[in-house]
Amino acid sequence: MTLVPTTASRDDSPEPRSDAVTGPAEAGGPGRLARLLRRPLSLQGLLVGGAVVIVGYLAVVPLGYLIHDTFLSADGTGVSLDAFSRAYGGNSQSREMLLNSLWFALGSAALALVLGTVLAYIQVRTDTPFKGLFFAASLVPLIVPGILYATSWIFLGDPSSGILNSLVFQPLFGTSPVNIYSVWGMIWVQGLHLAPVAFLLMVAAFRAMDPSLEESAAMSGANRLTVLRRVTMPLLRPAMISAALLMFVQSLESFEVPGLLGLQNGIYVFTSRIYFVLRAYPVDYGAAGAYAIGLLLIAAAGVLLSSWLRRSSRNFQTVTGKAFRPRPVELGRARPFVGAGVILYFLITVVLPVAVLVYASLLKYYAAPSRKTLSEMTLANYRTVFEMPLAFTALKNSLIVGIGAATAVMILTAIVSWVVLRTKAPGRRLLDLLAFTPIVIPGLVLGLALSFVYLRMPLPIYGTLLILLVSYCTRYLPYGMQYSSAAMTQMSPELEESAHVSGASWFQTFRRVLLPLMSGGILAGWVYILVVSFRELSSTILLYSPGKEVLSVLIWEQFENGQFTTLAALGVCMVLLLVLLVSIAYRLGARFGLQNDSAN
């Protein structure tokens, strides 16, 4: 890597950046981007250039801060690798930590991918009963804040007193087989929590897939399994790769599950090490950065692997000029079994944890269900929530920042994914990689980087909601990129070419052809970002200002107060609210011609 310039040229003017972003592109010879940028002041030139610059800027700020802190030696004069020996050397048990992290992340991503893909297939492509349940199953685990979801599972799956063991397995089988404090328990909880990410991405992919390919295979004598294996799966590869990568890296950088379930039995991962380092004083930012860079290397390997796997993406373009309507597969005799499976999944991922939350929200303090606790139930916690002076402000702020970030990120990434996938602009891979880096920056480091920059900027950003918006846009950039590129990969360039030939300008093509066809993926990404931004805490907690609280801050406050029961009530309210909000979004989407399930 290029380490030297970080320190050697600190006094240089910020000029080089604009060079970096547009320079190589202009020099890039023939290519669509070059064609576009030859008229840099045209609308499209500004749009594309602006999006690239903004995305680059958002990603570079925290990354630069991280690299600066990690490689600067203790005396502040040169480059050093001491931070890495502090982080990984000595008695740090880094091999175990690495293995735990990879095992946990791979397991969770695999579980979530299988669950999400199967569910998406059943939802989009079959005539399964209970389709309405998918909507809740795809959202609720996303909405419930990680601390609550993990805590619910502790109450369910504790080896000695968990409800599953004490009320189900112990009376029926005489054993307590469920132990949530194990790597398997962690994978289970994280996998269920992540499955909606895969589900949202895969639903969009299935919808955009031309079923005539499958039909031709079936006509040619392939049985159902062969069609699935040889036609359907390969066509979905880009989306599956995106989903797997996203969930793998997200598991690597998540802390709630490893913090609540893993620490109990000394199962340490990267993020628990980062947590330890960041909470000590004086804070060893170098060591924290060294861990984050370890994560970054793993993630970069994942990005490279995924683009290598996607290398022949021409083969996966299923959205072509030809009209199609996916026709549902008739399940026939399997229908009741699939229906039962859907109900079971719904019970496990939605009903069980939410029931624990509802149950807890009616108590004064949490205790396992008994006659005594059942007789003492009260709505007092809900009263507390509604009487919280900040509840309304926080809700309003969360909505503003969440909708703002979701919209901004999806617009930016739709454009940037076009640059990355459709042009031959040099540096596009680097841009792709750069846009992925925020995913591994620890939230606190992101918070520090942003406050560092914006405290020194004369613009009124620090201390306002804008800084939260910047922070959320940065954090969710990688997710937006994955959703947008998955949608873009499926689309054949011939559509743009025909639009171009028919005399449409770039902007017209983008707005009238690309965006509508990508809308399934874009809406999925938008919903995802909106929902998760409601629970973002790690950078929010450093950046919010009094009077500018958001809901996640209130949740954290209740958690710190030790009011798990009030928190549960707040969680239940949030689930209701976001489910309502997202169904409105889907309705609106449908009205504006978004592809939906009507074809089924």
Q: Which residue number, 430 or 588, has a Cβ lying nearer to other proteins? A: 430
Give me the least distance between CB of 293 and other proteins, in Å please: 13
Q: Which residue number, 117 or 566, has a Cβ lying nearer to other proteins? A: 566
CA pair distance 120, 326, nearest whole angstrom: 13
Dihedral sign for Cα 435, 439, 445, 446, please: positive
Give me the least distance between CB of 25 and other proteins, in Å please: 10
CA pair distance 242, 107, nearest whole angstrom: 16
Q: Which residue number, 343 or 390, has a Cβ lying nearer to other proteins? A: 390
Distances (CA, A) of 257 to 185, 251, 277, 314, 575: 9, 9, 18, 39, 20
Q: Which residue number, 89 or 234, has a Cβ lying nearer to other proteins? A: 89
Q: Which residue number, 37 or 61, has a Cβ lying nearer to other proteins? A: 61
Q: Which residue number, 330 or 560, has a Cβ lying nearer to other proteins? A: 560
Of 120, 392, 442, residue with least CA distance to 291: 442
Give me the least distance between CB of 281 and other proteins, in Å please: 5
Give me the least distance between CB of 574 and other proteins, in Å please: 18
Of 232, 229, 228, 240, residue with least CA distance to 309: 240
Q: At what angle do helices 391-422 and 428-436 cross, to 10 degrees?
A: 160
Give me the least distance between CB of 391 and other proteins, in Å please: 12
Per the DSSP assignment, residues forming a β-bridge with 79 are: 72
Give me the least distance between CB of 189 and other proteins, in Å please: 15
Q: Provide φ and ψ at 570, rounded to 5°.
A: -65, -40
CA pair distance 383, 403, nearest whole angstrom: 28
CA pair distance 372, 564, nearest whole angstrom: 19
Distance of CA 450 to the CA centre of its chain: 21
Are 473 and 508 in contact by the 8 Å Cβ rule? The answer is no
User: Can you list the alpha helix ranges (DSSP code H) found in 347-464?
Assistant: 352-361, 371-375, 380-387, 391-422, 428-436, 443-455
Give me the least distance between CB of 2 and other proteins, in Å please: 5
Q: Which residue number, 89 or 336, has a Cβ lying nearer to other proteins? A: 89
Of 3, 147, 152, 134, residue with least CA distance to 66: 3
Close Cβ partners of 170 (under 8 Å, ≥ 6 residues apart): 176
Give me the least distance between CB of 165 and other proteins, in Å please: 12
CA pair distance 48, 192, nearest whole angstrom: 37
Task: Say how many C-beta atoms besides its own lie within 10 A of residue 161's C-beta.
Answer: 12
Give me the least distance between CB of 433 and other proteins, in Å please: 10
Distances (CA, A) of 251 to 196, 256, 445: 14, 10, 18
Give me the least distance between CB of 423 and other proteins, in Å please: 15
Position 375: which residue type?
S
Of 194, 238, 210, 123, residue with least CA distance to 487: 238
Close Cβ partners of 501 (under 8 Å, ≥ 6 residues apart): none
Q: Which residue number, 67 or 204, has a Cβ lying nearer to other proteins? A: 67
CA pair distance 498, 208, nearest whole angstrom: 19
Q: Which residue number, 418 or 462, has a Cβ lying nearer to other proteins? A: 462
Give me the least distance between CB of 545 and other proteins, in Å please: 7
Q: Which residue number, 86 or 327, has a Cβ lying nearer to other proteins? A: 86
Q: Which residue number, 305 or 347, has a Cβ lying nearer to other proteins? A: 305
Are 484 and 520 in contact by the 8 Å Cβ rule? The answer is no
Give me the least distance between CB of 486 and other proteins, in Å please: 25
Q: Which residue number, 339 or 426, has a Cβ lying nearer to other proteins? A: 426
Q: What share of the chain is helix, strand, coil (3-state, %, to 5)?
A: 75, 0, 25
